[in-house]
């Protein structure tokens, strides 16, 4: 199982970005979590099949309708805690 730790910056808070990620993660069978962090950023951890995670990362680069994504950084890492669903924190 692969895991990606993702940071998204830009106009990504208050535009439904976390819900957008959760909806698409569930469609792709990706587990993990997403949350807002200081500095107008969103942080997420995605677990699952690498191809599905990469598709979700591609979607993060677009974001929902009102979002303006400036940067998406991804760190691939060993999965520690195993997630069984996708949650918004």
Cα(43)–Cα(47) distance, rounded to whole angstroms?
A: 14
The pLDDT tens digits of the residues spanning 77-87 come to: 988 889 999 99
Residues that are catalytic: 18, 36
pTM: 0.95
In the chain the domains, ranked by start, together with CATH numbers, are: 2-88 (3.30.70.100)
Q: Mapped to the 3 state alphabet, what secondary structure does 29-51 carry?
A: CCEEEEEEECCCEEEEEEEECHH
The pLDDT tens digits of the residues spanning 31-73 come to: 999 999 999 999 999 999 999 999 999 999 999 999 999 999 9
């Amino acid at each position: 199982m692969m895991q990606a730790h993702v940071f998204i910056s830009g106009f990504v808070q208050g535009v439904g970005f976390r819900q957008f990620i959760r909806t698409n993660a569930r469609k792709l069978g990706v587990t993990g979590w997403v949350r807002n962090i200081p500095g107008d950023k969103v942080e997420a951890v995605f677990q699952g099949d690498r191809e599905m995670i990469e598709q979700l990362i591609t979607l993060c680069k677009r974001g929902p309708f009102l979002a303006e994504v400036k940067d998406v950084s991804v760190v691939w890492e060993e999965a520690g805690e195993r997630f069984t669903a996708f949650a918004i924190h």
